Chain A
């Protein structure tokens, strides 16, 4: 079945460091791919998304490119801030339809000043 695997955390970085959080998926066809972010004490909110191969989603300095050949959707940011400390979830929306978005386990990011 469809699945999402993302790197385990926590990830601890200093302010202005480069961030990569790896995400790979297993799915048939062309799923939609998402990154959601959860700040402490809040619900998840969409960070970015991509709906087809080679699409690049971007928002707030974060980017991720839909790579069909490597079945990956890695999240990157060139210079993290303390305010980016949160839990990041990679997610997959199956192209076969249905209502079941599949979420990864989440990666907690700590950014130190």
Chain B
């Protein structure tokens, strides 16, 4: 099992460019999450998908869109990147059902720099 995989590992964008961060899990988990990690702020939830076909906003959704492509894949899109979106992005998954009370399984992260 690969667990949770993310691509790319590192990306540099110019302000206004767009990009999609990819995430996939092979654990047959129902729920998937996108977080951003900034120094001194822990992890903040951007969007989550409780189950295939559903998505909901988290704490900091502005400037992002998501797609739950199928049970395995959950992508995060930046339509017009801004320097404030410079961060490390983590995808995570849980088996589902009780979401926040379950162990989360994280990918290795995507480091994004917006110039």
**Known pairs A41-B108, A93-B99 / 13 extra A-B pairs, C-beta < 8 Å:** A32-B100, A43-B107, A45-B105, A51-B101, A93-B98, A97-B98, A98-B99, A98-B100, A99-B48, A100-B48, A104-B42, A105-B40, A105-B42
Q: Mark interface residues in A60-97 (1 if CB within 8 Å of B CB, else 0).
A: 00000000000000000000000000000100111101
Residues of A within 8 Å of B59, CB to CB, are 100
B residues 11-34 touching A (CB-CB < 8 Å):
31, 33
Check B31–A99 contact: CB distance below 8 A: yes
Residues of B within 8 Å of A34, CB to CB, are 103
Check A89–B103 contact: CB distance below 8 A: no
Chain B residue nearest in CB terms to A51? B101
Residues of A within 8 Å of B78, CB to CB, are none
Q: Give the Cβ gap from B88 to chain A, nearest Cβ, in Å.
A: 9
* A49–B104 alpha-carbon span in the complex (Å): 11
Check A99–B99 contact: CB distance below 8 A: yes
Contact of A89 among B43, B48, B56, B58 (CB under 8 A): B43
The verdict on B74 contacting chain A, using a C-beta distance below 8 Å, is no
**Residues of chain B at the chain A interface (Cβ within 8 Å):** 4, 31, 33, 40-43, 45, 48, 50, 56, 58-59, 90, 92, 98-109
* A24–B101 alpha-carbon span in the complex (Å): 17
Question: Interface of chain A, helix or strand or loop or mixed?
Answer: loop
Q: Give the Cβ gap from B1 to chain A, nearest Cβ, in Å.
A: 14
Q: Give the Cβ gap from B66 to chain A, nearest Cβ, in Å.
A: 13
Check B42–A101 contact: CB distance below 8 A: no
Residues of B within 8 Å of A93, CB to CB, are 98-102
* A103–B48 alpha-carbon span in the complex (Å): 15
Q: Give the Cβ gap from A7 to chain B, nearest Cβ, in Å.
A: 13
* A94–B101 alpha-carbon span in the complex (Å): 6
